[in-house]
Structure 1
Amino acid sequence: MQVVIIAMTYVGPMAVKAILQAIEGSDFHMVVVIQALAMLVASKILSAFVTAHADLITQRMVLQCTSALQHMLFLKTLRLDAARRREKTAGDIANLFSSDMQWITAFATTVNQVWTAPVRVIVTLVMLYNVIGWAAFVGSGALALAFAVNHSITILQRRLLATYMLKKDGRMKAVAEIFGNMKIVKLQTEEARLEAKITALRRTEMKTLGSYVFAEAAQTALLFTTPVLTTLVSFFTYTIVMRETLSVSKIFTAMSLFALLKYPMMGLPQAIVAFMQAFVAVERMEEFLTLEDKPVVDNVSPEISTLPSIEVSDATFGWDASTSIFRNVSLAIDRGELVVLHGAVSQGKSSLCAALLGEMVTQRGTVAIRGAVAYVPQQPWIQHMTIRDNILFGLPFDRVKYNRVIEACALTSDFASLPAGDRMEIGQRGVNLSGGQQARISLARACYTDADIFILDAPLAAMDAAVQRQVFSKCILGLLATKTVVLVTHNPAWIASPAVHRTLELVDNGTIVDNVVLPKHLEPEEEPVPARTPPPASRECTSNPSIPAALVEGTLRSPVAALADTPLHHDFDQGHIEAQQILTGKLIAEEARSKGRVSKAVVWTYGQACGGWPVLVVLGSLLVSYSGVQVASDLWLSKWSNTAANVTPEIFLAESSYYLTIYSLLVLTGCGVAVGRAFLAWAAGLSASRVLFSRMTTALFRAPMAFFDTNPVGRVLNRYGNDLTAIDTRIPSLIGAFFTLAVSSAFTVGTTVWAMKSMAVLICPLLVYYYRMALFYLESARAIERIHTVTKSPLLNLTAEIIDDAHVVRANGQHHVDRLVLVHHANVDRNNQAFFTAQVANQWFHLRTQLFSACMMLGLGLTLVVMRMYLSPGIVGLVLSYTFQIFPVLEMVVFLWSNLETQMVAAERVVEYTALPSEPMRVVPGAVAATWPVHGEIEFDNVSFRYKPTDPLVLKHVSVRIAGGEHVGLVGRTGAGKSSLTMALFRMHNVASGVIRIDGVDIASVGMHTVRSRMAIVPQSPVLFQGTVRMYLDPNDDFTDDRLWASLRKVHLAHRFEAVGGKKLEWSVNEGGSNYSVGERQILCLARALLRQAKVVVMDEATAATDAATDDRLQHIIRTEFQHSTVLIIAHRLSSVRHCDRIMVFENGRVVQCDSPDALLVQEKGVFHDLCRRGVVEQGQKVDILTNS
């Protein structure tokens, strides 16, 4: 097909030559002219159909190629070995799916130009030789020189591109990490520092990008100057050196052929650049795809094996092949056993779970898992979908089993309180759920799989005592009674439970102490309902501990509390929930998609970012000057060619120096203008990229938390990835090419009408029709491109969700991996549908414009022939040459216009983010003193709070006053409103009503940054940003090393960094703090809070991930180090609040009790007393601790 297309390209110049020879000759033959015009029209029609089919075949192959690559990348993301995963951040992998995939697509669509461009050049030179002899090869020498320069530029670009991609990866890593954890960023008032970090990364990236685009500008200038310089050199050689006469037919045939050189000259550099980009992308993909996969664990169906469910034989594990974490591990866990895994902070409990799941490298020995596995990670993995879909995890909905699971996981009352029940949509990372709710949903998902083996990594730590007891008794002892369960916990009650068959204690250096619990006779108290098969009689304990003991630390001999009085299973009121409007549970807003043309406001914003009116005026002047000089040089050639028919050859050659001198000046002036235009256009584009990036980044850091709750991070990554790439490179290139060809076309049409006034009668109506057809096409093309861009976000969202938690998917079975692959395929298919539709629309327009231009060429050619007697041969040649050039150029203008409009959608999306609503003022000058707050007194005055205007209230008319320096515990059932109170205090969302005062000052009147920076928080799910320990503890370099070490020693973490050689405080922190356990992250957060010594400190489950001994030490630190601060302690461990001055008890968003622990305990009908009664699983070593405190 390409051969046919190339052949048809050269029919035009030959037809021009035949027509002009017939006109300038003494004998005019109409038959020859008609034959030439017929050949021209036939070639145009044939070329149109062949090109349309060839392009569609190419696009179909592109889709097949990119779909296969995306499938391979997605599978690799799911299978990647843990050690290798640490080498790749979320930003690295997201880039492979976005920018790298785009570059491969761009090369695949231009791949034919790699071989067709040289063929076109060779054929053109051969045909030029037939017209102007060996002067064509002198011109080809100039062409070869241009190619040599272009080759050097290409080599430079390849090197710059590789560097640029590395720097872009670094920026995308930071973007993914920061904007994926904006809640922590805002709570810790890190916006300024992290914005500066992203800006600095972008600045280094822009330096390389600047060099790259200026090399691109040099190529652009070379593209526009090479053909005219080649023409000049060839004509100079032909007339001055060869002493030959140039006729009209030779000049304009040669000009037509030289014009054809533009297209391979334009296409080959683009194809080379596309090849370089694709080559770099393929290298990066290859490097990713060749990383090691997760090792395969022997997984045998339990029906065919009576061997232990989990069997480890003399195994040594490590995160890589060189470093061992556990050595010589031998372990066998029988079917149906409940095994508790415990140990101090950072002893490797989660790592051992990973080893059993096959996530660690088995350096020696064997691991056998016999049966289907369900895994609950320590930090719950919650997908952006409804609660029900998270629990079902792709499995069919079985109402009976589903109700059993949610009852066993204590979710029934939560669903009843949610506006859409289990149909409520969950934000990314479970942003609109409490930590306990996330943990129970994660547990419910595992239970619903009905697996044989359950590995539960501390799911109970995020739950309050009563819910823990209910989940332990109804879920672990009931629903999972016949299953093999490995439970990680710090709770002494569960460790000492008589229902536990064995305990595994992790001590120093990865040693495992295996303790077999002696069997105890357990009387059945209630028959649990299992997920699959009825278990044997359920277990119970016989003792009934006293209520005060629930407030103090438990012992290893604490019995299991009696099962709750409520039945294990009752139907969830599904009908009630389904009757509600499902939309009330909608959290994530549909991604905005504009309609119609890109608005003038967006275009003007982009123009201002380019430099405003001064730059635009200068650029416009250069464009007009370039086209004007180009037309002037063509008119001068036309005038020169007329002399050949009117003077003798001697006179013509004598005057050639004069004509060539003027022509040379015009050509060189045009070249200078072209160079200036190319560099200015790219410089303006670079300026726009810099400005829009800065504005978008600032707007995102200033955006309210509600924006990040309702917009997945994939949308942000899409802006910083695909959209910014378009602004960086594609839009400046398209703007330069479009306006150059548009202005040139206007000059060409104007010159044609000026030379032949009657042509206006034919040209103007046809141009109007052409314009209307173009508008019709563009309207569809814009809409399709917007759909294509929007359908890209789900691809990135799903990838972003699984990048860090692929091990959770793998652990729950291959069928879940297969399901997510199918979801990914569906996302790819939707995106491909939009892409292919866009290509079909392109070919629709291309075919019609080609057929339309063929008809126009026939009409205009006949008109010129009829009016030849009234025009000079030079003018006829010029007009005929312009006529045959104008329609391909007009078609190119429309395509560039279409591409520019569709690419401007990227600018539109970025501009949309530059205008995001902003939080209230960060700093209000003079609102408070620099030392505020002095006392830390907090007053909640009738405060009601919700996360969205359409949500129900999560805090209802809370009124309480907390004295300065008072330590107050916040307790209550999971989801009762404890963490919501801190969100209101930190102004993460505006209160619905009421006032919050600190030291008598309404915090709504104080700048947002001021309020948050004067408080400190240790969050339940700590996030450590990539950097060093020093950077995390002291991001603003406010403290000396001695202060930093003192803080680490207070929290008993100094030894962790003193033992790492010379690095110490420079010890690295990986993305998200993944190289530290959750407990260590919480302790580091506490060390950071100790350094700040804020007057108001919030501890949100600050020690939930620590063992009992560590928790006791940290609680002592909190009491002593923050004795002059107001401390709010949110805790599910009632023992963590036993030393508080007062305890606030929450229920359904209300403070139902607020008094000292002693006073609350004696209120036998109070909620706190009931919490203690139902939470006796946390009884202490000595009942009199409370009474003596």
Structure 2
Amino acid sequence: MAGKNDPEVKYRQMTRNKRPPDERNQRGMRTLSYHEAVDFRSLDMRYDENGLIDPVGRIEAGMPLDVGCTDYRKKEWKYKDSAKTLIPIRPKPKQPSVNPLDDAGLLSFMTYSWLTPLVKMASKSKLTLENVWQHSPLDRADNNYKRFERLWKEEVERVGMKKASLPRTIWRFTRTRMLMSYLTIMICMIGAFLGPAFVIRNLLIYAESREVDWPLGVGLVIAMFVTEMSRSVFFATTWSLSYRSATRVLGAVLTLIFTKITRLRSLKDKTVGELVNLCANDGQRLFEATAFFILMCGAPLVFVLGFCYVFYLIGPASLIGCSMFILFYPFQAGISRLTSRLRRQCIKITDRRVRTMNEILTCVKLIKMYAWEMAFGKAVGAVRSDERKVLEKAAYVQSFSISTSPLVPVMASILTIVLHVMTGNDLTASQAFSLLPAFNCMNFCIRPLPHCVKALSESSVALERLKSLLEMEEMKPFTTRPSDPTNTIEITKATFAWDTTRTEDEEEAGDSGTAPVVHGKTEKVPLTKEGAESEEDLVKTLINIELELPKGTLTGVCGSVGSGKSSLISGILGQMRLLEGTVGLTGSIAYVAQQAWIMNASVRDNIMFGEDFDEQRYEDTVRTCSLTHDFNVLPAGDLTEIGERGLNLSGGQKQRISLARAVYSNRDIYLLDDPLSAVDAHVGQHIFHHCIMGALKDKTVLFVTHQLQYLHLCEQVVLMKDGVIAEKGEHSQLMAAGEDYARMIQGYMTSHCDEETGEESDGEEEMEQVNNIKGGKLMRQSSKDAQRLKRLSAVVSTTSIADNGEVLVVEEEEEEDLSGNLVANEEVESGSIGWATFSDYFRAGGGYLLSALVLLTFVLSVGSMVFGNFWLSLWLRQGSGNTTITVGNKTVISNSIRHHPDLHFYSLVYGMSIILVMVMITIKGLSFMKFTLRASSNLHDKVFRSVFRSPMSFFDTTPTGRILNRFSKDLDEVDVRLPFQAEMFLQNSCLLLFSIAMVAYALPYFLIAIVPLAVVFLYIRNFSGSALRELKRLENVSRSPWFCHLTATIQGLATIHAYNKTEETVNRFLALLDQNTMIQFVFHCAMRWLAVRLDLITVTMSTITALLVVVMHGSVPPAMAGLALSSVIQMTGLFQFTVRLSSETEARFTSVQRINSYIK
């Protein structure tokens, strides 16, 4: 009887209840099992760019099933869902969408209020994957991938693959949303300009005047509130559009890359570590570039408006100030090019390091067995040292770029004012302190440029790497139908060659005459002549192959190591390049690789491999493959989870599970690559007689083996030698011929006549392996010869070694886990980042004293920038210094600063502050760069040593993808992103504190308003802090599963191709990717949710400051009013940006926390 998880049962439930059971209870995502991730997507809603298209989607929409898809699409407007968002307030629907964003009105969309329920939930309890919504159907990776793939194919067809542009395709993919983002950023920039240009100037003129005009003053205060609020809301809207566009681009591009990987014949020079790094880090760069790109578009408009305004305000002297902004753009362009070059260098070295780590983790048992830890540690250390040199250069360039952004308006205002005064012009408070906000407004436009430049430069490198993968040749079928209908396989005069490199699933150890390819490792093996580019230059591996396999026959293939036995199977599978001849094939294929490919899933899932469950067929398969006794001992039977690559199983167990997968698939053709090599004699006899000659008796079987005692039972025997078929025919005929085959059989029988009686039972060893699973006892004997050493290397355990070298018994005290889950879900810590994490980072960077000194450099560098405004207000308050001048026949006291006797002194101090700023910025950048690099390097070394010293049980229960996640994404966070975020946070924090101090200095009554605003701020910060931390942790955790799936897919490409399981593999990737990108999107939206509410605080502060200037008319000097208004307007956007940076910096520290979890 079909179970409740059967896809058909789920479909019937959906049609009966209108919604899937999970959606009726909660609209959250959850951790998906292998089959749920594959099957459940087929029951979900499907959209394309025209709307809802599948039956289940029509059920969800309350439409009849007989509505044709084409007719429905004709009735739907392309932007129907987007247009609904323009409704200011939308009532709550009776049947909510899977994502509340789809039901949000305009006000909710602009202020992120649709996210408030999740933020509230996070403030009360720990967030889990089930609490986070599913993706909107419009944002899912599969729907966006289909559209992006179509656009990419159009691009390739139009200009060719070499000239095809990924950036141009991304622009076509996102241009509608980009244009909407451009519209909102323009409105934001205009609002940001109107405040400083008109409101502040008129407030200062009002402060300078002797008359009190209350209606005018109140009107100016209201105008201040409106302009600042419009800037904040439309800026948030821009981010909302940009983040959603970036999420769609990320899902589409990563799916395009993954599907490309599944279509490759071979990986050539690409390795597992490089591909993981490409999808993880380069994909994130692409996300950031798409999100930040629009911020660069608004800068030119505001710059033109600002230039016209300051020229009107000051005159020709403004040209020197505006030239600083003009020079800043080519400067940033140079920084961009330099960053791109350094990023390219760093990525190459990072790929080497991640690739080396992948190889180490794959072969960790052998490394530990032979005590090679020190040698491999030195190899990783050497690569890390090269990486650190490039990171050091990139960090200094990055620090310089961050520091110059706030420096530009300071230099522009100082040079403009000094030149204006020194050329004999007068300067009033309304002029000076209207100039500063105008320059700050222009700086508001260039402030994101370091982010944009960094993101765009890094994404350009990422896109080059992504395109290089897309340019790789895909696996093209070359098989035809056999000319003889009685044949299942028919190879005629075929010559095959390998591409430049191959993976372990493509070739058996030694077939190329080179070092063996270790399972799970992509070994680079040169297989072309030097400088070879065409097919004619490829080294021919199999030459002039003539072979026919009639239906229902058993054909044995033998030969020495490197003779081409496994290459013959790879050629049939299409993994090699066919240079000459034809390959005829009819029927479905099952493949058993020599190195068994095992998924990190249950035993049953590995056997079923996406097929429907048939109880009788399943039991017969288990029995014929000699797995019954294993299932009786396993903690949860066949539901016991297998570790990644089957590390907790013996070689024989892995091979029998791989064989069971082939038998259960019930295919027409079976390609068995030495399936008995890892099992002992009596188990091999059982498998051969009951499985190969029993269950597969009516199938076409190509049986590659080194167990020559079984060849006499084959209907046809093939002897491979140096890539050609040396002999073929029946066993008796070949023996009678007395050639190489006969001599090989005779030699084999002579050397193995007594081997079976003296051979140790592998069955006992395999039962001991079962005890490696959590809850068992670990018992095994030491190896006696080199042949047994290979098998012993598969044993995973925590052992003690006595002085005599015996491996002693180790008892595990843990209770038996009857669930059978070997690999637990990654632990998600809740709560704020503990002081211990920060303390560990400070100690890794050089200690508390050095940390305090680095912080002091930030205070001094920002203080030197603020000093200029303070000195200017002091200068303007001095006026003429009571200097008298003669006007006509009268002597009066001048009010102009140009008549002050110490004019040159004030001008000199004001001008020299630029040099002080530049010196302090340089010191700050160097010290911070050295500190953060030392911290990341020490953390890397510690986590590497800790992982290397871990017991084998750790590698049993921890997927390689999860460990690689620490050494790729998490370490990248600590190397690059954490220093970038932390430096901006510290710099802006100091600037914010100095700005508040300046306002309080000029208007002491402002401190009264600070207290309630501080209370509101702390409430909002604490209220949202839990959500930000939890979402960042969930994003980190949800990333590991698709890392693992990507790694496993690359390692098992040959098996996936043979079983034609590409679609199921892609579907599982889509489910895991959607889970991760949804949490990432919600995390960024939560950051903007906080930003909008903090902006409301800064708008209130600006309004209160303007109100104090109006109310205290006559009692506040115009210079002090100007200092207060210019300082508070500087906090516009800066306050929320700084608080958001604090949250992002804390979120980045989760990577430090995750690395520390492997250290302690």
Q: Confirm or deny a common fold (TM above 0.5).
A: yes
Asked if 2 retains the 8 angstrom alpha-carbon contact of 1:424 and 1:582, the reply is no
Write the letter of the residue equivalent to 1:736: E
**SS state at 1:594 partner:** coil
Determine the structure 2 residue equivalent to 1:781.
1028
Q: 1:61 to 1:148 in 2, by over 3 A?
A: closer
**SS state at 2:447 partner:** helix
Give the drift of 1:683.
1.7
Distance 1:684 1:910 in 2: 18
Determine the structure 2 residue equivalent to 1:189.
371
**SS state at 1:342 partner:** strand
Asked if 1 retains the 8 angstrom alpha-carbon contact of 2:264 and 2:472, the reply is yes
Give the drift of 1:146.
4.1
Asked if 2 retains the 8 angstrom alpha-carbon contact of 1:218 and 1:679, the reply is no
The reply on whether 1:10 has 2:193 as its aligned counterpart is yes
The reply on whether 1:402 has 2:618 as its aligned counterpart is yes
The reply on whether 1:656 has 2:872 as its aligned counterpart is no
Alignment of 1:991-1030 (within 5 A): none
Distance 2:1016 2:613 in 1: 57
The reply on whether 1:423 has 2:639 as its aligned counterpart is yes
Distance 2:924 2:620 in 1: 71
Write the letter of the residue equivalent to 1:289: L
Give the drift of 1:261.
3.2
Give the drift of 1:65.
0.9
Distance 2:1159 2:728 in 1: 58
Distance 1:217 1:852 in 2: 29
Distance 1:199 1:518 in 2: 59
* RMSD value, Cα: 2.3
Asked if 2 retains the 8 angstrom alpha-carbon contact of 1:359 and 1:807, the reply is yes
Give the drift of 1:447.
1.1
Asked if 2 retains the 8 angstrom alpha-carbon contact of 1:384 and 1:430, the reply is yes
**SS state at 1:19 partner:** helix
Determine the structure 2 residue equivalent to 1:234.
416
The reply on whether 1:792 has 2:1039 as its aligned counterpart is yes
Asked if 2 retains the 8 angstrom alpha-carbon contact of 1:718 and 1:796, the reply is yes
Of 819, 833, 858 in structure 2, the residue corresponding to residue 598 of structure 1 is 833
Asked if 2 retains the 8 angstrom alpha-carbon contact of 1:316 and 1:328, the reply is yes
Distance 1:669 1:363 in 2: 71
Deviations 1:577-617 (A, max 9, x none): xxx99744221132122211111111011111222123222
Determine the structure 2 residue equivalent to 1:452.
668
Deviations 1:782-816 (A, max 9, x none): 11011001111111101111212211110111xx1
**SS state at 1:791 partner:** helix
Determine the structure 2 residue equivalent to 1:607.
842
Determine the structure 1 residue equivalent to 2:485.
306
**Equivalent pairs, count:** 855
Distance 2:897 2:634 in 1: 98
The reply on whether 1:151 has 2:333 as its aligned counterpart is yes
Of 172, 176, 192 in structure 1, the residue corresponding to residue 354 of structure 2 is 172
Write the letter of the residue equivalent to 1:313: T
Determine the structure 1 residue equivalent to 2:230.
46
Determine the structure 2 residue equivalent to 1:216.
398
Determine the structure 2 residue equivalent to 1:1059.
none
**SS state at 1:790 partner:** helix
Asked if 2 retains the 8 angstrom alpha-carbon contact of 1:297 and 1:357, the reply is no
The reply on whether 1:801 has 2:1048 as its aligned counterpart is yes
Determine the structure 1 residue equivalent to 2:746.
none
Alignment of 1:267-306 (within 5 A): 267-298=448-479, 306=485
Determine the structure 1 residue equivalent to 2:951.
704
The reply on whether 1:327 has 2:327 as its aligned counterpart is no
Distance 2:670 2:908 in 1: 88
Distance 2:376 2:1005 in 1: 66
Give the drift of 1:299.
6.5
Write the letter of the residue equivalent to 2:435: A
Q: 1:79 to 1:262 in 2, by over 3 A?
A: same
**SS state at 1:460 partner:** coil
Determine the structure 1 residue equivalent to 2:564.
348
Of 589, 593, 618 in structure 1, the residue corresponding to residue 853 of structure 2 is 618
Distance 1:581 1:611 in 2: 44
Give the drift of 1:296.
1.0
Deviations 1:263-293 (A, max 9, x none): 3333223312211100000001100111111
Distance 2:540 2:875 in 1: 85
**SS state at 1:485 partner:** strand
The reply on whether 1:872 has 2:1107 as its aligned counterpart is no
Distance 2:575 2:897 in 1: 88
Deviations 1:814-839 (A, max 9, x none): xx111010000000010011012112
The reply on whether 1:32 has 2:216 as its aligned counterpart is yes
Deviations 1:12-34 (A, max 9, x none): 20211111111112333333332
Scaled by the length of structure 1, what TM-score is found? 0.70
Q: 1:650 to 1:278 in 2, by over 3 A?
A: closer
Write the letter of the residue equivalent to 1:264: C
Distance 2:336 2:605 in 1: 50
The reply on whether 1:413 has 2:629 as its aligned counterpart is yes
Alignment of 1:817-836 (within 5 A): 817-836=1062-1081
Give the drift of 1:451.
0.8
Write the letter of the residue equivalent to 1:610: G
Asked if 2 retains the 8 angstrom alpha-carbon contact of 1:696 and 1:914, the reply is yes
Deviations 1:207-240 (A, max 9, x none): 1111111122222332333221111111122111
Determine the structure 2 residue equivalent to 1:837.
1082
Give the drift of 1:460.
1.1
Determine the structure 1 residue equivalent to 2:754.
552
Determine the structure 1 residue equivalent to 2:259.
75
Q: 1:548 to 1:127 in 2, by over 3 A?
A: same
Q: 1:854 to 1:225 in 2, by over 3 A?
A: closer
Of 323, 338, 357 in structure 2, the residue corresponding to residue 141 of structure 1 is 323
Asked if 1 retains the 8 angstrom alpha-carbon contact of 2:272 and 2:358, the reply is yes
Q: 1:258 to 1:654 in 2, by over 3 A?
A: farther
**SS state at 2:982 partner:** helix
Give the drift of 1:479.
1.2
Distance 2:852 2:1072 in 1: 44
Distance 1:345 1:630 in 2: 73
Write the letter of the residue equivalent to 2:562: S
Alignment of 1:1085-1104 (within 5 A): none
Deviations 1:928-962 (A, max 9, x none): xxxxxxxxxxxxxxxxxxxxxxxxxxxxxxxxxxx
Q: 1:853 to 1:143 in 2, by over 3 A?
A: closer
Determine the structure 2 residue equivalent to 1:490.
706
Write the letter of the residue equivalent to 1:796: F
Distance 1:655 1:550 in 2: 107
Give the drift of 1:305.
9.0
Asked if 1 retains the 8 angstrom alpha-carbon contact of 2:1105 and 2:1128, the reply is yes
Query: Matched residues, percent identical?
Result: 27
Determine the structure 1 residue equivalent to 2:268.
86
Deviations 1:462-487 (A, max 9, x none): 11111111111111112111111111
The reply on whether 1:244 has 2:416 as its aligned counterpart is no
Write the letter of the residue equivalent to 2:188: I
User: Which piece of structure 1 moves more, 817-826 or 657-666?
Assistant: 657-666
Distance 1:229 1:550 in 2: 87
Of 43, 63, 69 in structure 1, the residue corresponding to residue 247 of structure 2 is 63
Alignment of 1:707-1106 (within 5 A): 707-813=954-1060, 816-915=1061-1160
Distance 2:717 2:755 in 1: 19
Determine the structure 1 residue equivalent to 2:382.
200
Q: Unaligned 5+ residue runs, structure 2?
A: 1-183, 500-534, 735-748, 757-814, 883-893
Distance 1:493 1:636 in 2: 96
Give the drift of 1:685.
1.0
Give the drift of 1:428.
1.0
Give the drift of 1:354.
0.2
Alignment of 1:1160-1175 (within 5 A): none
Write the letter of the residue equivalent to 2:697: A
Deviations 1:474-520 (A, max 9, x none): 111121111111111122221111xx211111023423422135799
Asked if 2 retains the 8 angstrom alpha-carbon contact of 1:220 and 1:678, the reply is no
Write the letter of the residue equivalent to 1:220: I
Alignment of 1:251-266 (within 5 A): 251-266=432-447
User: Which piece of structure 1 moves more, 420-429 or 118-127?
Assistant: 118-127
Distance 2:996 2:865 in 1: 13
Of 288, 297, 315 in structure 1, the residue corresponding to residue 494 of structure 2 is 315
Alignment of 1:377-526 (within 5 A): 377-497=593-713, 500-516=714-730
Deviations 1:100-140 (A, max 9, x none): 11111111111113322333333322222222122221112
Give the drift of 1:887.
4.5
